[in-house]
Structure 1
Amino acid sequence: MKIAFLLHNRYGIGGAITSTLNLAAALSDEHQVEIVSTRRDRDVPALPVDPRVSVVDLTDLREHSHLYDGDDPLAAKPAKVFPKEDSFRGKEFSRLTEVRLARYLAETDAHAVIATNPGIAICLARMGGNYIKGVQEHRFLADHSAALRKLLPEAYKKLDVVIPVSREEAENEQKALAHTGVRVRSIPNCVPVPPIAPSDSTSKIVISAGRLVPFKQYHHLIEAFAKVVAQRPDWQLRIYGGGPERAKLTTRIADLGLGNNVLLMGSSNQMEVEWPKGSIAASSSNSEALPMNIIEAMYAGLPVVSTDCDYGPREIITEGVDGHLVPVGDTDALAAQILGLIQDDERRAHMGRAAQDSARRYLPQEVAAQYHGLLNQLVADRGLPTTADWWVTPHGDIVVRLAITAGMPPVRLLCLNREAPEGAQAVRFEFQEGPSQDLTAVIPQAGCPLAEGHWDVYAESVDGQARRRLKSGVRDERGMLYAAGPRHEGPVLQSRIPFTADDGSFSIRTWVRPVHVESDSIEIADGHITVGASLWGAAMFQTPVVVAKSRQDPQKNFEVQAAQLGPDRLSFSVPCWGLAQQRTTAHDVWDLWVRLSPEVPLVRVGRFMGDFHDKKTVLQYPITVIPDTPRGRTRVRPFYTVNSELSLNAVDMES
């Protein structure tokens, strides 16, 4: 298999570059690997490339080079596809760069192309061909700008896989991207065993390495080391790396009188030579995906004292075995743990040996094997069907049909609840072969096999090794028009509405409630909002009360008496003027609940029956304008939430 990695600039220094080059070398044992750099800005790369790995530079920005691209008119024009929201890399990504990238993506013979940052991944999603497409996530989604985060789901759903280097971040991204159908698989960075002997733990040096940028919080490490020096002035801290914080850190070192104890060593592309000079490693960051510097230090036999930031350090360090974790920003704890290792030579050496053993999890051959398995799985995914026909019977069963195609492996139907961690709520249904070269599976109404939630539908190989999100083909939804009312066995409400998402994907929205208040009419007249509803699964032994819960301020909750219209019918009316007087913000929302008696839990009011799931968009109600409130003119209206539950809002109007 030929695998291509898209790097922003292979000539620089950084964790993403280092780990990609390490991985490329390891994969070259079994695959053809290519590194594609969007730019070349120096003659010799800071980090070597394995000779088995081919290299493509899309643009050459060396002014002395006969290949210099800086004079090309497109080099001065801004990119059109690369997102301006990726402001850091966007400054270096021209229209020429993306034209060259588009040409490469159209002409490459690679079987898999993997981007190494979100901006390039968006280009890959929009311009890539019919090969496996993926992105490595070396940072957290939360670290990207809000504008960039907003673009990622739409782009990532066109990829086959997203690969965070942190397990905890993979769980976050699985939730954030669940609706896209893209696979999310955590695979760590890889770090080779250094070529020289590890530390003997006898030097009096603490080492830290990384860019001198705010999130590394080196000022905290320096302040902690001042407390170390107060007791052990014979020890030294060396910080390797360059960056915009250098001047501030230099000043802080001078202010604390640490000029002989804390050294800013500058950048190094040979940290494997520097780590063994130390006896302890330290990290003070407030966030780290999977910090390679910690793994490198452990390979060199250094126990690591690190802040317990999200998420990487706690995935690498085993507390008390190969290092220590301290609260972020706690300089006293950081100093105490460093001092503890300084004062105990035997424990320091023992933990250093344990650190070497722990680091072996990140050997290139171990990580390459995970990529090999993932790529094989993605190839298998592509052998599965992409489209399913479906219909709903008058009894509420959902019938799914697949066409049998040549070479298709044995499959089953997989439903995944996108609100749950991957695999936590997976329900499978077997296909039966029909008379017309097709397979059918039934998701039965009886027995409530799908819990409440948003379910995405997949074809899955019977061995569980491959899956593919299904899109809707021919569908017949009429059976939902005959949906039954309250059920007499199991949960009283079991509503399931299959639908086709905007991108064509097949999904099912389900609601399952032991007691339910189904709103079926809303009238707005004479300044009042009047709701009619049916009660399912409980009796009204006394007149029910409607509780309006404010999302902004619990002190603004209020209650209204409901009217009992029959054994299972009720109605209630909310005065718009009174609602407007309760306001505290520019946009106040109250969620509606029913209290049947003081002894039983409140029941949320909702509208879950019918043949369409998006009540919020379809069921729009007129506004009532209240001209005189403490906040001025106010509009009031009822609405259904994205979960089809009934709420009220009161919103500022422009004068």
Structure 2
Amino acid sequence: MKIVYVLHTLYGIGGTIRTVANQAGAMAALGHEVEVVSVFRHRDDPVLPVGPSVQVTWLVDVREPPGPGADRPSLLYPVEEKHYGAHSALTDALIAERLAQAAPDVVVGTRAGINILLARLRPDGAAVVGQEHLTYRMYDRALLRAMARDYRRLDAIAPVTEADAAAYRSRMRLPGVRVQAVPNCVPAPELRTSGAGPPSVVAAGRVTGMKGFDLLLEAFARVAGDHPDWTVRVFGRGQGVEARRRQIHALGLEDRAFMMGAHPRMDEVWPLASVCAVPSRDEPFGMILVEAMRAGVPVVSSDCPHGPAEILRHGEDGLLVANEDPDAFARALDRVMGDDALRARMGAAALRNSERYSPEAVARMHEALFRDLIGPGDRTAVPAPRAAEPPDRCTAVVGADGVLELRFSTPPGLVVLRPVGTGAAGRQERRLCAEGARTVHVDPRDFPEGTTRWDVLRSDGGGAPVPVPASLVDLRSAPYEPRTVKRLAVAVPERGPGGRLRIAARRADRFAEVGGVAVAAERIAVSGTVLGSTGPDPEAELVLTARGDRGTEARFPCPVDASGRFGALVPAGALAEAGAELMGADGDEVVWDVRLRNGRGDHLVGRCLLGAGDWKQVCAYPEIEHPGPGGAGRGRTRIRPYITAGGHLAVRMTREEEALGPPPVRDVSVCWLPRRCRFEVSGTVRTLGARPGDVGVRLVPENGEGAPVDLPVTSTRTPAGVRFTAGIGLAGSARVPFGRWRVEVQSRGSDGGPVWSFPGYPGPRLRKRWWRGPVPVYAVAAPAKGKGTVIEHAPVRLLQAARRRVSHLPVLGRLWRGRG
């Protein structure tokens, strides 16, 4: 049969895109003729791979001038859907024209707006199926009314979970429309974990409040001290990335939690994870969850609506915990992080149990549904022959010794490494003679010291070299534990522009791998491990050298113990004084390169072993604000450590004329504890003068009327300062009075005097309701409009709530407003 999927765009990264690509490829593999119509595109090629047997058609390239009809509104796309503004009379005509030309047996919509468009269009001779990749409860009332009106023209609705299918059957009257749940499919990954990877908790998805990454960070902060070798890595992009980085700073997790950005091939990431975390508040299905299971990774997931409970088998292949409960999530993380045998057992069960989501199994379910809709007479599908691997396919595998193997599907005549990036003009191409072999080795010891980057090209038959695609990157055996590495020599494969293979050759005869960079208000604490250490060196120093021809050095004690571990404190005042003479009157910046100097010589210092291609984008350290020369009234100096593109530690220093006045606590993290019916506020006081007993947290009336409320505080000292947690009780005898309150943190400054601040809150906005006897009450945690964090606690105003609810009903709403 001929099947056409209509997608808003195939050219981004997201769960729906990945699902449709997997499903289209699986249906093509069964022998059906499959086409994916992308209404829009903004790049030449899709980011996520699409099967070679699937035809891809795009209708509007947003980079080009709009065509005729683009200035007129769409008559088919629902105005209630958020993408209505992107559609027009032009897209209506193009979709109708393409479906008429394709003449499909089945046309499949992939989001509510497109489903309604197809229901209104009703292509001749085609069964129309509306897939739902969000849950019923995620839609607002206006869009649900449009869906209830137009979905009656569909032939079938296909949610991805049984729970959501039940919601459509019970809440939406759809006579004659078949409602059948069909799960998403996930192909078997080429890489699977052996269970011996880095101690890392990995989460992935669009960084929004729904995904609950704030809950994951809160949960990990509760148990991080008991598992000092573990880290959290969050892959994804979205509007909430900077907010989560602010939360990481508030919790003091700069070297334990990382926002990694989007990754086009999560199947390459899962083998480097020991645990997958799914802290979502709502999850239509759980593609990330299944992908991790297919790679053999155990999962800790919130029991949110709707998908996880239908996928996970609690205690067998993962753990389900109460939704929106960071305490419960922390206990589950603590359990799996602390039990190697449990992770191995759950990982093996995840491999077995996830087979039911294989593309063939799910495609057969879709095939049966489509056949029932179009009736007899269609041709019998014949499984398509297995597609041959493209001749330029290349798998890049890093060995435990850091040597990179390039495994080609067809032997290249010549492999060319072309220099790119910093210093490329001073380096020459390198030619590796393949001599008819499928495997080419790249030894990092043959490259210059430091980090150099090279594009990989191949030449066949004496022709011009062409780029090699990064078909698969395997980092499972790459060195990551500093205590087992003698010296830095590793060639790390990366994806360059257009998915082309690029190599970062990292080599240093003497190197110190950073383990932690703790930034307080008056100093930077640097710790890590010297690779291949030959013994203790109490006289070692951390040397900061001003970049350029300035030749200025700042030295600080950095003793190295017998195991190679080092630690140093860099006082902000000493560094600011050393750099004061280097700055011109216009406030030029000074960049300090960091090295460790011991009896063996100078060691490069940085992050090069832990499996990230670009730590510069991943590591985001807080900033120190120090008084300028002459005191606090004479401007300020900003000092921030960072990781360079080459993976080396550096410190950037700039001067501003603005007077000093940084708050001791810039941001706090707020979470809701449902079992205790209270908010918890956490943050880090980064002034060295602060002691755990000096930190106080209170709620101050925002309108200035009434007395402040002191909160019970627990605090502990960390390398970054004093981490505190304060509970805001909203039930029982210790509850906070009704009102609107701002959070105030009090501590002791570096001069010993008291200081206070109204710290910010990166969100997400938390709103909770419950009953206190016969009275409904609510509580809200949100950023203040100007500055600070607001906690609002009050009874629900029943009259206003009723008015909001009634206004959503068309007839009663008009009567209420006096219009009927």
Taking structure 1 as the reference length, what is the TM-score of the superposition?
0.57
Per-residue Cα deviation, 1:561-599 (whole angstroms, up to 9, x for no partner)? xxxxxxxxxxxxxxxxxxxxxxx97999xxxxxxxxxxx
Show structure 1 runs of 5+ residues with no match: 63-67, 384-554, 556-583, 589-649
Aligned to 2:42: 41
CA-CA distance at 1:111 after TM superposition: 0.5
**Aligned-partner Cα distance in 2 for 1:197–1:279:** 11
Residue 274 (structure 2) pairs with residue 279 (structure 1): yes
Structure 2 SS opposite 1:180: coil
> Which of residues 98, 116, 122 in structure 1 aligns to 2:110?
116
Structure 2 SS opposite 1:208: strand
Residue 225 (structure 2) pairs with residue 224 (structure 1): no
Pair 1:652–1:22, CA change in 2 (3 A): closer
Residue 357 (structure 2) pairs with residue 378 (structure 1): no
Aligned to 2:403: none
Structure 1 SS opposite 2:374: helix
CA-CA distance at 1:321 after TM superposition: 0.4
Amino acid at match of 2:110: T
CA-CA distance at 1:653 after TM superposition: 8.5
Q: How does 1:342-357 map to 2 (within 5 A)?
A: 342-357=337-352
Q: How does 1:262-277 map to 2 (within 5 A)?
A: 262-277=257-272
Per-residue Cα deviation, 1:157-192 (whole angstroms, up to 9, x for no partner)? 111100000110011111223443200000000000
**Aligned-partner Cα distance in 2 for 1:370–1:651:** 48
Pair 1:93–1:258, CA change in 2 (3 A): same
**Aligned-partner Cα distance in 1 for 2:818–2:78:** 34
Structure 2 SS opposite 1:113: strand
Alignment check: 8 A CA contact 1:153 1:180 kept: no
Alignment check: 8 A CA contact 1:86 1:119 kept: yes
Aligned to 2:360: 365
Amino acid at match of 1:293: I
Aligned to 1:468: none
Q: How does 1:563-582 map to 2 (within 5 A)?
A: none
Residue 131 (structure 2) pairs with residue 105 (structure 1): no
> Which of residues 160, 170, 188 in structure 1 aligns to 2:183?
188
**Aligned-partner Cα distance in 1 for 2:207–2:799:** 41
**Aligned-partner Cα distance in 2 for 1:42–1:179:** 39
Alignment check: 8 A CA contact 1:199 1:277 kept: no
**Aligned-partner Cα distance in 2 for 1:220–1:586:** 31
Per-residue Cα deviation, 1:445-480 (whole angstroms, up to 9, x for no partner)? xxxxxxxxxxxxxxxxxxxxxxxxxxxxxxxxxxxx
Taking structure 2 as the reference length, what is the TM-score of the superposition?
0.46
Equivalenced residues, count: 388
Alignment check: 8 A CA contact 1:140 1:289 kept: yes
Amino acid at match of 2:222: K
Structure 2 SS opposite 1:157: helix
**Aligned-partner Cα distance in 1 for 2:66–2:367:** 41
Aligned to 1:317: 312
Aligned to 2:256: 261
Alignment check: 8 A CA contact 2:2 2:104 kept: yes
Pair 1:263–1:379, CA change in 2 (3 A): same
Residue 38 (structure 2) pairs with residue 4 (structure 1): no
Alignment check: 8 A CA contact 2:7 2:109 kept: yes
**Aligned-partner Cα distance in 2 for 1:268–1:56:** 24
Structure 2 SS opposite 1:76: coil
Amino acid at match of 1:120: I
CA-CA distance at 1:303 after TM superposition: 0.9
CA-CA distance at 1:55 after TM superposition: 1.4
Pair 1:98–1:230, CA change in 2 (3 A): same
Amino acid at match of 1:126: R
Alignment check: 8 A CA contact 2:235 2:261 kept: yes
Alignment check: 8 A CA contact 1:199 1:275 kept: no
Alignment check: 8 A CA contact 1:307 1:328 kept: yes
Amino acid at match of 2:44: D
**Aligned-partner Cα distance in 2 for 1:199–1:219:** 29
CA-CA distance at 1:74 after TM superposition: 2.3
Amino acid at match of 1:37: S
**Aligned-partner Cα distance in 1 for 2:120–2:334:** 53
Q: How does 1:198-597 map to 2 (within 5 A)?
A: 198-380=193-375
Aligned to 2:554: none
Show structure 2 runs of 5+ residues with no match: 379-773, 775-797, 803-814
**Aligned-partner Cα distance in 1 for 2:217–2:801:** 46
Alignment check: 8 A CA contact 1:160 1:182 kept: yes
CA-CA distance at 1:652 after TM superposition: 11
CA-CA distance at 1:109 after TM superposition: 1.4
Pair 1:339–1:106, CA change in 2 (3 A): same
Structure 1 SS opposite 2:86: coil
Structure 1 SS opposite 2:232: strand
Pair 1:16–1:586, CA change in 2 (3 A): closer
Q: Which moved more, 1:193-202 or 1:94-103?
A: 193-202
Pair 1:18–1:50, CA change in 2 (3 A): same
Pair 1:379–1:223, CA change in 2 (3 A): same
> Which of residues 140, 144, 150 in structure 2 aligns to 1:155?
150
Alignment check: 8 A CA contact 1:286 1:309 kept: yes
> Which of residues 117, 121, 137 in structure 1 aligns to 2:132?
137
Per-residue Cα deviation, 1:55-109 (whole angstroms, up to 9, x for no partner)? 11111222xxxxx3x232422333222112111x223223211221122233331
Alignment check: 8 A CA contact 1:321 1:351 kept: yes
Amino acid at match of 1:6: V
Pair 1:128–1:319, CA change in 2 (3 A): same
CA-CA distance at 1:353 after TM superposition: 0.6
Residue 54 (structure 2) pairs with residue 53 (structure 1): yes
Pair 1:586–1:345, CA change in 2 (3 A): closer
**Aligned-partner Cα distance in 2 for 1:340–1:587:** 42
Alignment check: 8 A CA contact 1:280 1:304 kept: yes
Q: Which runs of 4+ in 1 moved over 3 A?
A: 584-588, 650-655
Alignment check: 8 A CA contact 2:96 2:123 kept: no
**Aligned-partner Cα distance in 1 for 2:319–2:273:** 17
Alignment check: 8 A CA contact 2:108 2:131 kept: yes
Pair 1:151–1:234, CA change in 2 (3 A): same
Alignment check: 8 A CA contact 2:283 2:304 kept: yes
Amino acid at match of 1:234: D
Alignment check: 8 A CA contact 1:237 1:261 kept: yes
**Aligned-partner Cα distance in 1 for 2:211–2:328:** 17
Pair 1:192–1:587, CA change in 2 (3 A): closer
Aligned to 1:598: none
Amino acid at match of 1:171: A
CA-CA distance at 1:202 after TM superposition: 4.3
